[in-house]
Amino acid sequence: MRRVAVVGIGHTVFGNLSEFDLVDVLAFASGNALDDAGILAERKLIEQVIVANMGGGILNHQTGITSSLVSRLDMEPAMAELVENGPASGASAVKLGFMAIASGMVDTVMVTGGELMRTVTGWEATDFVATLLHPSAEYNLGLTLPAFGGMFTRMYMERYGLTERELAMVAVKDHDNAAKNPFAHVQIPVTLDAIHDNENANVVNNFVAEPLRLYGMCPVTDGAATVILCAADSPEMKHFAKRQPIYITGIGSATDTHCVHNRKDPLVLDAVRLAAERAYAMAKLAPKDISFAELHDAFVILELAISEEVGLFPRGKSREAIAAGATRIEGRMPINTSGGLKAKGHPTGATGVSQIFELVKQLRGGAQKENRQVKDPKHGLAVNFGGFGNNVVATICSKEPTW
């Protein structure tokens, strides 16, 4: 299997971009990555373009967006495909780009994930994401993803003793990181006093899906992110000398039951564990080797639960890690240095690609000017979580090849 390097990254600001066309947003991130890779003027070097998008047809009345992007960037005759895998679309697209190169089919791939979700109301966006659920056993009963997040949180609290204050600590940490990230949707730090300890905190931080409150959930977000991949053994690598290559050393995915109620234990996220195990096995690494992680915290409880499933903390013990500051940028296991979905934002098709963007940026040492650089990182882990844990992709990026 060929080694695959990330040789270019691009990102839009996350937030409200509804004044733009969906393909405009995708093209901005793509052009940014081509420039970062040093091939903006030679963009026809890209043989394969993959776009990750979940809602273009439903939210924006746009389909065929991948071929449209290729044309917008004058990149014909590049091969072009769309990947839709719910909120895990981004990492799935990176996985398919990795596979295309590792198999020897192509040498160069551009993967762009993007979404325009604020062209509709918040209620409509929530309903759109809820279409992931089983149509006659979940969705028709009025269930939404926030509802599942609330139920999962309550079960976790009852089993492991997690408190609302500890949940609020996750939000405070993520907002601190996002405040330093120029691409983040919510660049506003918050205090524990403001969203929990103060007697008026419940007015500011009201319930959305009890026991999850407003500051326990990600915002509805627009945005796009891009990574450019190249075979490490390809002669084309000579075109990418502008940036330090970062290697995708492990990637794995797994599924779980579509209906959450069919799982033996709803608190056990088997697809997360299996996806991570497969990524670790490919990379020839273990959880102890991971320097930092980007975990899919659409709801703050998921940062805690996923960190345990992938082996960064023992089951039920991540609450102690957050209380001790272990997951802060200066801690022993920094998590969601970008601000995570919680504060950076969650444009569903873009999220998984944005997570890889952050891994590469940190491994390059590129977050120093923003005062949020992880100290001497060697390996970063990203987990992109689809549905309520029914389709998950885990990716490991490393400074140096591990195989």
**pLDDT per position in the chain (403 positions), as tens?**
999 999 999 999 999 999 999 999 999 999 999 999 999 999 999 999 999 999 999 999 999 999 999 999 999 999 999 999 999 999 999 999 999 999 999 999 999 999 999 999 988 999 999 999 999 999 999 999 999 999 999 999 999 999 999 999 999 999 999 999 999 999 999 999 999 999 888 888 999 999 999 999 999 999 999 999 999 999 999 999 989 999 999 999 999 999 999 999 999 999 999 999 999 999 999 999 999 999 999 999 999 999 999 999 999 999 999 999 999 999 999 999 999 999 999 999 999 999 999 999 999 999 999 999 999 999 999 999 999 999 999 999 999 999 9
Say which CATH number the domain at 87 has.
3.40.47.10
Q: Give domain status of residue 236, yes or no.
A: yes
CA distance 321 to 340: 17
Contact 372, 337 (CB under 8 A): yes
CA distance 291 to 310: 13
Q: Give domain status of residue 34, yes or no.
A: yes
Q: Give domain status of residue 10, yes or no.
A: yes
Task: Please give the residue range of the domain that contains residue 23.
Answer: 4-120+220-240
CA distance 317 to 370: 30
Q: Give domain status of residue 199, yes or no.
A: no
Distances (CA, A) of 214 to 69, 167, 403: 35, 11, 44
Q: Give domain status of residue 39, yes or no.
A: yes
Residue appearing with tokens 């009025």 = 142
Helices (H), 47-184: 56-59, 65-72, 89-102, 122-130, 145-160, 164-178
Render pLDDT for 349-386 as a digit per residue (tens, 0 to 9): 999 999 999 999 999 999 999 999 999 999 999 999 99
Q: Give domain status of residue 90, yes or no.
A: yes
Helix or strand (DSSP H, E) at 352 = helix 348-364
Contact 9, 227 (CB under 8 A): yes
The pLDDT score that the predictor gives to residue 284 is: 98
Helices (H), 179-269: 192, 201-204
Structure tokens at 381: 């882990």
Contact 296, 384 (CB under 8 A): yes
Helix or strand (DSSP H, E) at 277 = helix 270-283
The pLDDT score that the predictor gives to residue 200 is: 86
The domain total for the chain is 1
Q: Count other C-beta atoms under 10 Å from residue 176's C-beta.
A: 17
**One-letter amino acid identity for 158?**
E
CA distance 359 to 366: 10
Helix or strand (DSSP H, E) at 269 = none
Core vs surface per residue 60-78: b (16+ CB within 10 A) or e:
bebeebbbbbbebbebeeb
The pLDDT score that the predictor gives to residue 131 is: 94
The pLDDT score that the predictor gives to residue 321 is: 97
Q: Give domain status of residue 193, yes or no.
A: no
| Sign of CA pseudo-dihedral 28, 31, 37, 38 | negative
Q: Count other C-beta atoms under 10 Å from residue 235's C-beta.
A: 8
Contact 307, 328 (CB under 8 A): no
Render pLDDT for 120-133 as a digit per residue (tens, 0 to 9): 998 899 999 999 99
Return the half-sphere exposure (C-beta side, CA atoms, 13 A cut-off) of residue 285.
Answer: 28
Q: Give domain status of residue 104, yes or no.
A: yes
The pLDDT score that the predictor gives to residue 24 is: 96
CA distance 171 to 42: 42
